A = this chain, B = another copy of it.
Amino acid sequence: MPETTHRVTFEPDGRTVVVPAGRTLLQAAQAGGIPLEAPCGGKGTCGGCRLEIPDAPPEPSEAGRAILSAEELGRNLRLACQVQVERDMRVVIPDAARHRDQQILTESAAADVPLIPNVHKRAVHVPEPSVTDQRADADRLLDALADAGLDGLTVPAAVLREVPAKLRRLDFHPAAVVLGDEVVDLDRPATADACYGLAIDVGTTTLVGYLVNLVTGEVAAVASRANPQAAYGDDVIARIEFAGRERGGARTLQALVVDALNEILAEACRKAHIKPTVVYEATAVGNTTMNHLLLRLPVDAIARAPFVAASASAHAVGARSVGLKIHKRGRLYTAPLIAGFVGADTVGVILATGMHAGDRLRLAIDIGTNGEMVLGTGQRLLACSTAAGPALEGARIRYGMRAAAGAIDRVDIDDGRLVLRTIGEAPPTGLCGTGLIDAVAALVAAGVIQETGRMRLAEDFDGPPAIARRLGRVDGEPAFRLAGAEEGAGHEVLLTQRDVREVQLAKGAIAAGIALLLDAYGAALEDVEEVYLAGAFGNYVRPARARAIGLLPEVPLEKVRSVGNAAGAGARMLLVNRNLRHVAADVARGVEHLELSCRAEFQTRFGDAMLFPEAPGGA
């Protein structure tokens, strides 16, 4: 009894999601990994999931009428959580709603890859044995698969232990699961379409999993978690130190990340209505430390000069050998690393942006807790890594938070007055990474923050009074009040002097890295034809603001392109197309790595780059 399903196309990305009839548009968006904020959990009370239904919109629900204005209803806006899918639909996500949940970013880069998966599930009819056909069970199965176009396979001994009984139980009509060149299981023939993979972006701060249907190549669901290792240190150095200091420390960190990945797997499978046992392969990208901790490789040599990894190669290990609960014989492919701290996430960025091909000089900046930068053309690529710190992911900031409802994500000073925007238009409760940059940039422009990064106190400030009265102190250091009772905040949200210092460290490290990359390449900034901003942060930040404080170099804004979670996109591409794994190996081997820590110029550049531009009206 097949379920009735409908297709929902989400504009402007054009992504199509197939869902059973009766699901809501919000559920469809969630299943498809399409970012649509719903802080109220789909109760119709927050308005976060509003979207446009251009063709024959349904009557608005009661909740919709309560939340949406008459003008919005007139523009065919509805609440996605209130609309049931009863036909094929096309909907448009408004700009404002698209940039909500940085954690479930998916981008189109990965969609262009031909579907050549490493996993096939094929229903075949296997001839039954007879005295005139005494082929071994494995041979008759492999011959049938060869007839079905899958040849050159083997059946490992562990699988063979089950093959004779399963073949007979399935009346010699199995759906064979082929992983790489091996038959790994026999399933019921009706399940031949249930063949999935999980692409994982193992970030220092955030973990994202993309569940991909390997029959269609489409993303079936996305889920994410904060990396629980953060409890043992914000950055990779702190975690390596913990792993070295504490008995069983590395094992603890490994268990934490795998537990979270298993939660992601379970959530994504729940959304897609499949069992984790039909997920046969996972691909993962992560920086060197995340990669090694996940694979249980030793990390101690990574953290001390000369910063040597145990392995820079791709690995394909039994998923269960690292604790990942996909199919019991599923495999985890980890993409290769470049060198030092520049890991597989950067390989993912290169693949997703296509920097490894073509003649144009391009620069990619992946800002996470570590900042990785890649510069070059298809002929030559240079990469480096700097410790940007977790500030831009909202950590180590006094009122920092992840990009969730209530996070201030835009700060403007307009006509002498502070104008805020929060995610979900909820009362402000903190500051996410993009809001942090916006705030610092606005305050630099207003002269509140000086060239050196020092914040002025009210008595030193001669700007607008509405700004001046927000200047004060907290715990003895200068601070700027972004929000308080008058903005409807339940508590004050402050930007402190120390927060500004964190931003200075982050942007100084990144700017210095870029400068040294250009030097080493022998190019000037003007030669760069395109700048990619990767990572959740890069996707939401306003490039003009990032450039204003020197986080982005002084390039024309039309050269800047946000590419979203390009590392995760790379993981998806490697899942969807196994041939790219050879490309990844070539890329990882071919990229020149610039070790910044041992270069005197880096310290000089870093010092310079920590400064802010002088405000035009500064004191």
Give the B-binding residues of A (Cβ under 8 A): 129-131, 133-139, 154-158, 160-161, 163-165, 295-298, 300-301, 305-313, 315, 317, 321, 337, 339-340, 593, 595, 598
Known interface pairs A134-B306, A137-B309; 19 further A-B residue pairs with C-beta atoms within 8 A, sorted by A's residue number: A130-B306, A131-B305, A131-B595, A131-B598, A134-B340, A134-B595, A135-B308, A135-B339, A136-B308, A136-B311, A137-B308, A137-B311, A138-B312, A154-B313, A157-B321, A158-B321, A160-B310, A164-B300, A164-B301
With a cutoff of 8 Å between Cβ atoms, the chain B residues found around residue A154 in the complex are: 313
Residues A311 and B134 in contact in the complex (CB < 8 Å), given A165-B298, A297-B157: no
* Bound Cα distance A318, B154 (Å): 16
Residues A164 and B298 in contact in the complex (CB < 8 Å), given A139-B312, A306-B129: yes
* Bound Cα distance A595, B135 (Å): 12
With a cutoff of 8 Å between Cβ atoms, the chain B residues found around residue A160 in the complex are: 295, 297, 310-311
- A514 shortest CB reach to chain B, Å: 21
* Bound Cα distance A595, B131 (Å): 8
Interface residue from B138, B155, B157 paired with A317 (Cβ < 8 Å): B157
Task: Say whether B595 contacts A311, CB under 8 Å.
Answer: no
* Bound Cα distance A157, B311 (Å): 9
Interface residue from B136, B165, B301, B340 paired with A137 (Cβ < 8 Å): B301
With a cutoff of 8 Å between Cβ atoms, the chain B residues found around residue A131 in the complex are: 305-306, 595, 598
Task: Say whether A133 contacts B306, CB under 8 Å.
Answer: yes
A308 (CB) vs chain B CBs: closest residue: B129
* Bound Cα distance A259, B137 (Å): 28
* Bound Cα distance A309, B316 (Å): 30
With a cutoff of 8 Å between Cβ atoms, the chain B residues found around residue A301 in the complex are: 129, 137, 164
Instruction: Identify the interface centre among A157, A295, A337: most chain B CB within 10 Å of its CB.
Output: A157
Task: Say whether A137 contacts B310, CB under 8 Å.
Answer: yes
What are some 6 contacts across the A-B interface (CB < 8 A)? A131-B305, A134-B595, A156-B315, A161-B298, A163-B310, A164-B301
Task: Say whether A155 contacts B311, CB under 8 Å.
Answer: yes
Interface residue from B136, B313, B339, B593 paired with A310 (Cβ < 8 Å): B136
Task: Say whether B305 contacts A136, CB under 8 Å.
Answer: no
With a cutoff of 8 Å between Cβ atoms, the chain B residues found around residue A158 in the complex are: 317, 321
With a cutoff of 8 Å between Cβ atoms, the chain B residues found around residue A134 in the complex are: 306-308, 339-340, 593, 595
Instruction: Identify the interface centre among A165, A298, A593: most chain B CB within 10 Å of its CB.
Output: A298
* Bound Cα distance A541, B131 (Å): 35
With a cutoff of 8 Å between Cβ atoms, the chain B residues found around residue A157 in the complex are: 295-297, 311, 315, 317, 321
With a cutoff of 8 Å between Cβ atoms, the chain B residues found around residue A308 in the complex are: 129, 134-137, 164
With a cutoff of 8 Å between Cβ atoms, the chain B residues found around residue A307 in the complex are: 134
With a cutoff of 8 Å between Cβ atoms, the chain B residues found around residue A138 in the complex are: 310-313
A589 (CB) vs chain B CBs: closest residue: B139
Task: Say whether A161 contacts B312, CB under 8 Å.
Answer: no
Residues A136 and B309 in contact in the complex (CB < 8 Å), given A164-B300, A300-B164, A598-B131: yes
A139 (CB) vs chain B CBs: closest residue: B312
Instruction: Identify the interface centre among A154, A300, A310: most chain B CB within 10 Å of its CB.
Output: A310
- A304 shortest CB reach to chain B, Å: 10
Task: Say whether B297 contacts A161, CB under 8 Å.
Answer: yes
With a cutoff of 8 Å between Cβ atoms, the chain B residues found around residue A161 in the complex are: 296-298, 310
- A248 shortest CB reach to chain B, Å: 14
- A153 shortest CB reach to chain B, Å: 11
* Bound Cα distance A311, B155 (Å): 8
Instruction: Identify the interface centre among A129, A161, A308, A321: most chain B CB within 10 Å of its CB.
Output: A308
* Bound Cα distance A156, B154 (Å): 20
* Bound Cα distance A317, B161 (Å): 13
Interface residue from B295, B306, B310, B337 paired with A164 (Cβ < 8 Å): B310
With a cutoff of 8 Å between Cβ atoms, the chain B residues found around residue A309 in the complex are: 136-137
* Bound Cα distance A321, B161 (Å): 13
* Bound Cα distance A280, B471 (Å): 72
* Interface pairs A-B: 4 shortest CB-CB: A136-B312, A138-B311, A136-B309, A129-B308
* Bound Cα distance A135, B288 (Å): 13
- A382 shortest CB reach to chain B, Å: 14
- A512 shortest CB reach to chain B, Å: 18
* Bound Cα distance A439, B607 (Å): 100
A299 (CB) vs chain B CBs: closest residue: B164
- A538 shortest CB reach to chain B, Å: 27
With a cutoff of 8 Å between Cβ atoms, the chain B residues found around residue A163 in the complex are: 310-311
* Bound Cα distance A157, B295 (Å): 7
* Bound Cα distance A598, B131 (Å): 7
* Bound Cα distance A221, B154 (Å): 34
With a cutoff of 8 Å between Cβ atoms, the chain B residues found around residue A595 in the complex are: 131, 134
- A172 shortest CB reach to chain B, Å: 12
- A123 shortest CB reach to chain B, Å: 21
- A25 shortest CB reach to chain B, Å: 43
With a cutoff of 8 Å between Cβ atoms, the chain B residues found around residue A315 in the complex are: 156-157
With a cutoff of 8 Å between Cβ atoms, the chain B residues found around residue A310 in the complex are: 136-138, 160-161, 163-164
- A595 shortest CB reach to chain B, Å: 6
- A581 shortest CB reach to chain B, Å: 13
* Bound Cα distance A315, B158 (Å): 10
- A154 shortest CB reach to chain B, Å: 7
* Bound Cα distance A297, B161 (Å): 5
With a cutoff of 8 Å between Cβ atoms, the chain B residues found around residue A136 in the complex are: 308-313, 337, 339
- A344 shortest CB reach to chain B, Å: 12
* Bound Cα distance A535, B298 (Å): 51
